[in-house]
Structure 1
Amino acid sequence: MKLLTSGILLLTFSLIVNGYNILGIFPHPGKSHFDVFEPLMKELTKRGHQVTVISHFPQKRPLPRYEDVSLRNTAPIRMDVFDMNGFKLSRFEQYYDVINLMNVGQSSCENGLSSQPLKDFLSSDRKFDLIITEFFSNECFLGFVYRFKAPFIGISSCLLFNWHNDLIGNPSNPSYIPNNFLPLSDKLTFLERVENTILGIVQNTFVRIFMDNLNSKVALEVFRNDLPPLRNIAINASLVLVNSHFSLNLPRPLVPAVIEVGGLHIGEAKKLPQVIIIETNNKIFFV
């Protein structure tokens, strides 16, 4: 009995010491997205896990237990100071945002999966205990879940899109849950509910007919022909982490597999500097 107990304790401690081998897949070239995911991956290394991260933003300095598979220079990086006037879209123009997302996703898929670092990575005999991958508009990278046969967690840097809720069976009742692409509250008029419903149907149909097919086409060229439909892979997510919180985003029902982790990327508060420089209208003020 003592021998059995000692053996169990030894096995437990060995698992704790060795940690898990985790693959993070973040192929979207937006720095704001990666800023949400990077602290999570770094924290996993601090807790003893080995992480491999596919992204456009490799570490500038090597970190213990952190390995980069760089997609740098495979797509234009979306990191700049934006003119907010450019975001003032008309109601009609907002319906086409999903097309922009599809184009960005297709570009990420084609350029990323054809890059030499990913080709070398795919040809390796690596094994992973867990995969964490972004849910956005580049589901072609779900082929890695099939390739490495590991359980996976989805993560989103923003509110889940309508079609992602549909994928994982999360309630998205258009009578009181506004679509991300519309400037609506949860106090909807009858006409707003009609518009909310129609847009959701249009988006889900568009994603199924166009976005899913484009993602699948690219994925099939890289992974084996017996790759199952990407939608079938996505619905098997063990968990979905979402950068949202009911105190900022409207409260809504969530299935147990969807966990709000709003502020996951926010570190410890730092003291303000003694001098704050504010630049506005070409004038500099010292506070």
Structure 2
Amino acid sequence: MKMKEETAILLLAFALFIAIGQIATVNGSRILGIFPHFGYSHFKVYYPLLRALAERGHHVTVVTHIAALNETKPANYEELLLKGRETTNMITFADVLPHRTLYDILTEINFVHNEGQKACKRLYESVYVDKIFKRHERKPYDLVITEYFNTDCQLGIPYLLQLPVVGLSSCVLMPFHYDRIALPDFPSYVQSEFVGFPEVLKWHERLLNFLQMKLLKHIYRYRTNY
């Protein structure tokens, strides 16, 4: 009987040892979100992801113009709110630029470019960039999440911090971002968002689609990101 009791105790101790060995300590990552664009409709796409990451235990710090879209947010979701630009919910070029000529497309990309440059200025003139670097020295971030839209100036931050980047887009991918992710583009029949013809392209529309696709890539590379 004594032998059986000792055996049972040993088996129980062994089972407890195995169970305890399966317990792992889980630490949430420190995630930095950088969203310098002022568009509410853009950030509305990203916020559910950022909030979900915080709810799952990650420490999320977000540089943005837009406050949390809920009255309450997780305690580990921090906002660094940019100033100097009124947020816009939605803007359409249907009334401003109703036609889709090459001139209109270049006018539109010039507007997008100028807004991107202003967003960069507001980001780097804020106190938050310096704050991010000081925090990273004390307790490093693990990941940067940002938007691929009308500027890449914010990518200088993860470059200097030597952090991986996750790029998101709230709209159809811009023509100048296809090459970045090695995504083939076929302007002969796949329309750019700047063209937006509702039907199958005619010959002259295919030509316009091709020209603007190639032009916008060079403009973004040699003007916006120069």
- The TM-score normalised by the length of structure 2 is 0.81
Q: Could you tell me which residue of structure 2 aligns to residue 45 of structure 1?
A: 54
The runs of 5 or more residues in structure 1 that have no matched partner are: 214-287
Change beyond 3 A, Cα 1:45–1:191 = same
* Residue 188 (str. 1) matches residue 201 (str. 2): yes
* Residue 64 (str. 1) matches residue 75 (str. 2): yes
RMSD after superposition = 2.6
- Aligned-pair identity (%): 30
Deviations 1:184-211 (A, max 9, x none): 2572222222221111111111111100
* Residue 173 (str. 1) matches residue 186 (str. 2): yes
**Which of residues 176, 194, 213 is equivalent to 1:163?**
176
**Which of residues 87, 90, 95 is equivalent to 1:77?**
87
* Residue 115 (str. 1) matches residue 126 (str. 2): yes
SS of the residue 1:132 aligns to: strand
The one-letter code of the counterpart of 2:179 is D
SS of the residue 1:14 aligns to: coil
Larger Cα-atom Rg = 2
The whole-number CA distance in structure 2 between the counterparts of 1:101 and 1:208 is 14
The whole-number CA distance in structure 1 between the counterparts of 2:164 and 2:39 is 25
Query: How far off is 1:7 after superposition?
Result: 7.6
Query: How far off is 1:157 after superposition?
Result: 0.7
For these two proteins, the number of residue pairs brought into alignment is: 208
The one-letter code of the counterpart of 2:55 is K
Q: Could you tell me which residue of structure 1 aligns to residue 37 of structure 2?
A: 28
The one-letter code of the counterpart of 1:55 is T
Query: How far off is 1:78 after superposition?
Result: 2.2
Change beyond 3 A, Cα 1:5–1:172 = farther
Change beyond 3 A, Cα 1:22–1:177 = same
Q: If each structure's helix is expressed as a fraction of its own residues, which one has the higher value?
A: 2
**Aligned residues of 2:55 and 2:74 also touching (Cα < 8 A):** no
Change beyond 3 A, Cα 1:39–1:87 = farther
Change beyond 3 A, Cα 1:81–1:146 = closer
The one-letter code of the counterpart of 2:86 is P
Query: How far off is 1:89 after superposition?
Result: 4.3
Query: How far off is 1:123 after superposition?
Result: 2.9
The whole-number CA distance in structure 2 between the counterparts of 1:160 and 1:190 is 23
Query: How far off is 1:90 after superposition?
Result: 5.1
The whole-number CA distance in structure 2 between the counterparts of 1:161 and 1:83 is 16
Query: How far off is 1:102 after superposition?
Result: 0.8
Deviations 1:73-108 (A, max 9, x none): 233322478796335345231332111111011001
Change beyond 3 A, Cα 1:117–1:131 = closer
Query: How far off is 1:55 after superposition?
Result: 0.5
Q: Within 5 Å, give how 1:1-287 maps onto structure 2.
A: 9-10=22-23, 13-15=24-26, 18-59=27-68, 61=72, 63-71=74-82, 73-79=83-89, 85-86=95-96, 88-89=98-99, 91=101, 92-124=103-135, 125=137, 126-185=139-198, 187-213=200-226
